[in-house]
Chain A
Amino acid sequence: MPGILVVAEAAEGAVTPASFELIGAARKLSGEGAGPVAAFIAGSEAQAKELIAVGADSAYTSDAATQADILLPAVQAAVAQSGADIVLIAQSSLGRDLGPMLAFANNTGVAMDSTELKIEAGRLRATRSAYGGNARAEHTWKSPLQVVTVKAKSFDAPEADASRSGAVTAIAEKGESKITVLGTEKAVSTGIRIEDAAVVVSGGRGLGDESAFKALEELAGTLKVAAVGASRAACDLGWYPPSQQVGLTGKTVSPNLYIAIAISGASQHMAGMAGSKNIVSINKDADSNMVRVSKFAIIDDYKKVLPALIEEIKKLG
């Protein structure tokens, strides 16, 4: 019987939010006739049970290291044991390698960074963004196995229900890697994670220099629930760390409020923040793409606008 396998991930001991979103996607497909939902996690039984609580019908655990080449045989075994014909993987550092590896190992392809999934005549149809966000492409598969990686924030994580139960099976298979990890360095993140922030204040190349990010941080601090992001142009100039980059090759955010300061709104930037509920921009150019998609925009020099904005927000309390 066909079904869906979700490849979940844990970071620092906790199942990632993206993994729960994958379960949300899987439940939707299951509702459209794709069969039961199994979850795989290189992690603990407790984590497997968390995945069952949010909607998996069964789960597989593995103690393999979270490196794509080591995990591949474990995921292959979970695909075989569950009989899944659809595999959902997060578009994460791991998923970027694991998705294509799994697909190619099964002589098929993968739809990377998919944003919409649906079942049509029993088969998966995936929609993804292409050409930097300028186009949408829809794919199907000829092979029995259909592999996708899913863009963060594309699906809602279901509510956990602790009364749900399902079998948890340990998988012994694991691969060997020729790659040796010498060290990992976490990006120093101060304050709220950009993916979780209710408000994101982002700066672009139009800021003109690195020190302007201090003012953005002050604005974020004034708003209390905000994190600071940046366009790739700003990151490439060394003004802000790549871990805060928003866009196609950076973070996907969907805050309630996204304040874009001196960012033009190139399609590759929009790819990371178009899901924001409300966009506000401060830009000198009224015709810029970012202004077009905004709810409110100020057309002026940010240098004069920003201090007054911070002051007024402080006053409003």
Chain B
Amino acid sequence: MNIIVCVKQIPDPETPAASFKVDEAAKKVIPAQGIAPVVNPYDPQATEAALRLKDAAGGGKVTVISLGPDSARDAIKHALAMGADEGVLLNDPAFDDIDNFQTANALAAAIKKIGECDLVLMGRASADWDMGVVPLGVGQALGVPVVSVAKAIEKTANGVKVERVLDDGFQTVEAPLPAIVTVSNEFGEPRYPQLRQIMMAAKKTVQVWSAADLGLGADATGAANRVMPLEALYVPKVESNVEIIEGDSPEEKARNLAQKLRAAKLI
């Protein structure tokens, strides 16, 4: 089974609010001191799903694609260390500050160029923009079905059977291949690469493709061609007016809290 996994490098989503800063004029996040960028947390889960499906199928290839700056190579290396076979970095100044519509089209072009592919696995959303739209765009561009927010994926005779997480429960669906499936946190923990695997991954090939390699002209890339301009980016203000409930013991604090809540008519 040949599977393509799309992985994105993002600022660490667990960056504490206190360290999170924005350059409002540039409409960009200022990288937090000492906090390295990470792989979007859902993407190793997509990689894990790919590796398990490949194993279950008894063969095939897992190719990892990332569109991003030079440092995005690390996101690919992480997937290779987990066990993916090859990587492709989509890297071009023309990709700087593009929007997710443009990203989807570039990823779709890369998937077409790779060719043989039964299944594309992606994360349910990137934890930077928190949108969850690129997979639907890739599906549209490739004309293949997209099954979103997967908790479990299984190969069947007809394609893939996917257990999805819904707002109010779960749904099981089956899609023919080729298909795109997005993986959610409910899928479970991905494997963590060991040192030996990290060293082995260094030997695996990572090709680098430019916009021109993908046949994307100047009208398809570049921040100027965003379909949705970003007008402002800022950090919302939060005020703190907390009243710490006093008491000599935890029990007394609890009693004082109950009384305060009653006085404020909150209970």
Contacts and interface: CB of A to CB of B under 8 A. Distances in A.
A297 B245 contact: yes
A181 interface: yes
B264 A278 contact: yes
Determine the main DSSP class of B at the interface with A. Answer: mixed
Most buried by A among B104, B136, B184, B240: B136
B114 interface: no
Interface residues of A, number: 85
Interface in B91-135: 99-101, 104, 124-125, 127-133
Contact of A104 (B136, B253, B267): B136
Q: How large is the interface on B (under 10, 10 to 19, 20 to 34, 35 or more residues)?
A: 35 or more
B36 interface: no
A305 B245 CA distance: 12
A113 B171 contact: no
Contacts of A184: 166, 169-172
A137 B232 contact: yes
Interface in B152-205: 161, 164-176, 179, 184-186
Contacts of B57: none
A100 B229 contact: no
A92 to B, nearest CB: 6
A178 B215 CA distance: 29
A109 interface: yes
Nearest to A243: B168
A278 B262 CA distance: 13
A179 B266 contact: no
A165 interface: no
B242 A292 contact: yes
Contact of A296 (B17, B125, B260): B260
Nearest to B266: A257
B234 A136 contact: yes
B258 A309 contact: yes
B20 A187 contact: no
Contact of B133 (A99, A181, A185): A99
Contacts of B254: 298, 304-309, 311-312
B177 to A, nearest CB: 10
Which 8 A/B pairs are nearest by Cβ-Cβ distance? Answer: A304-B250, A308-B254, A100-B136, A312-B258, A109-B228, A100-B133, A308-B251, A309-B254
Interface of A: 11, 69, 92-93, 96-97, 99-101, 103-105, 107-113, 125, 129-132, 134-143, 177-187, 189, 199, 223, 232, 236, 242-243, 248-249, 251, 256-257, 266-268, 278, 280, 286, 289, 291-301, 304-309, 311-313, 316
